[in-house]
Every structure is written in C-alpha cells, then in structure tokens.
A and B are shown apart, each in its own frame.
Chain A
Amino acid sequence: SQTIHQWPATLVQPVGSPLSLECTVEGTSNPNLYWYRQAAGRGLQLLFYSVGIGQISSEVPQNLSASRPQDRQFILSSKKLLLSDSGFYLCAWGDFYEQYFGPGTRLTVT
C-alpha cells in the first residue's frame, strides 16, 4: 500500500530564515506530487505540483520554491521566510483523479 511521509510535524522559524520541508512517498512509482498550504480558517491552496522528476509547476507566485530530486521525493523551500508564510503545509500524491495527503507540517513564522 502507498504511504506518504512529511517532516517535520511542527516548525517554528524566525522571519528571514530559510525553510526546507520534505515529503516522500512509498509504494507507488512516478506519482503526481503536490504541495498545498492551509492558512488559518481557510481552504487548501495549491502551491506547486510535479508530474515527474525535475518538472515543477507553480500555482502561486511567492517566495517559496519546490524541487523533485527523486521520483518519490518532493521538497518545499524558501530562502527567507515571511510572517505570511505561516500555515499548515500539506504534501499529496495523485493517482488518476484522487489525491492522498500526508500528515502535514505546522509552520509558525515568528
């Protein structure tokens, strides 16, 4: 069966510091991979998606970036965090129409 891992579970970072969130998927090959953010009291906003290694599409212009160095690894990064980057970050993998989410990372930028 497929499993998706995200770490860390929680993170508190000062403004201006870098960010690296990692997501890995097990049990499937060449999945579509996604990064979402849920701001407090709001829905899920798609940030990036990837249909293959090195193929990244950005949905929202911002100071975040994503990379897919391996088939089942997806990384969300920032060089300098903003207060507005606080939120709940979710990685997901896709199989045809459905998407399946990881446990999420709670990021607080102080």
Chain B
Amino acid sequence: DQQVKQNSPSLSVQEGRISILNCDYTNSMFDYFLWYKKYPAEGPTFLISISSIKDKNEDGRFTVFLNKSAKHLSLHIVPSQPGDSAVYFCAASVGEYGNKLVFGAGTILRVKS
C-alpha cells in the first residue's frame, strides 16, 4: 500500500523554465511534508518542508504547495538550473512516536541547458 505516490518517474525541463514535481498521498493523518533531492551514490539532501496548517512555503527558487483537500503537494523550481538535475523524493510524516517518514518512489528531473 503506497501511502505516498510520485506518479511521474521522470521529468525533462529546459534550463530557466519552471520544474513542477508532483506528489499524492492517501493518509489523511499526515501532518508534515518534505522534499529531498538526491544525486547518484549520495544520501538525500533535505530541500524544503511544509506543515499541514499551511498551503505554501517558499525558500529561494523552491516553493512547495499543499492542497489538503486533494491530498496533493507539488514542488516548483524556478528558474530551473542544470545543477537541479537529480532524483526528487517526496516524504510525509504523521508525527507519531519515532517520527517516521514515508517516502515516494522519486522523480528523476533532468534540466537541459
């Protein structure tokens, strides 16, 4: 049972344009959402997060939007840069004991120059 889904395995975007990565979840108890970026053979790097009490959080070129009614969140990268090419993971937490994260399968982003 995949509680966090990233339905697009890959995305290709031209440098300077917007990249939009999507994530859907099924568990309405999730109250915190995170995005991680991962390069090959490295550990994931925390990018940005959002609490369920917000619908938007912005940090530089990265913005995360949360639509609770649709159980959907998205990561916008503007403008996209070649160095953004990586795998992006969406994760969700229910804030329970141990604070476990549930990860999506990831989306490979390729930014073409």
Contacts and interface: CB of A to CB of B under 8 A. Distances in A.
A88 to B, nearest CB: 8
Query: How many interface residues does chain A have, given as a range?
Result: 20 to 34
A45 B2 CA distance: 11
A96 B99 contact: yes
B89 interface: yes
Interface in B71-113: 89, 91, 93, 95, 97-106
Contacts of A45: 103
Interface residues of B, number: 24
Interface in B32-50: 32, 34, 36, 41-46, 49
A98 B34 contact: yes
B87 to A, nearest CB: 9
A99 B101 contact: yes
A57 B100 CA distance: 11
| Most B CB within 10 A of own CB, among A32, A42, A99 | A99
A3 to B, nearest CB: 12
26 contacts: A32-B98, A42-B105, A43-B89, A43-B104, A45-B103, A46-B101, A46-B102, A88-B41, A90-B44, A96-B99, A97-B34, A97-B49, A97-B95, A98-B46, A99-B34, A99-B46, A100-B46, A101-B36, A101-B43, A101-B44, A101-B45, A103-B42, A103-B43, A104-B41, A104-B42, A104-B43
Interface of A: 6, 32, 34, 42-46, 49-51, 57, 59, 88, 90, 92, 94, 96-104, 106
8 smallest A-B Cβ distances: which pairs? A101-B43, A43-B105, A44-B103, A97-B32, A43-B103, A49-B98, A104-B43, A101-B44
Interface of B: 32, 34, 36, 41-46, 49, 89, 91, 93, 95, 97-106
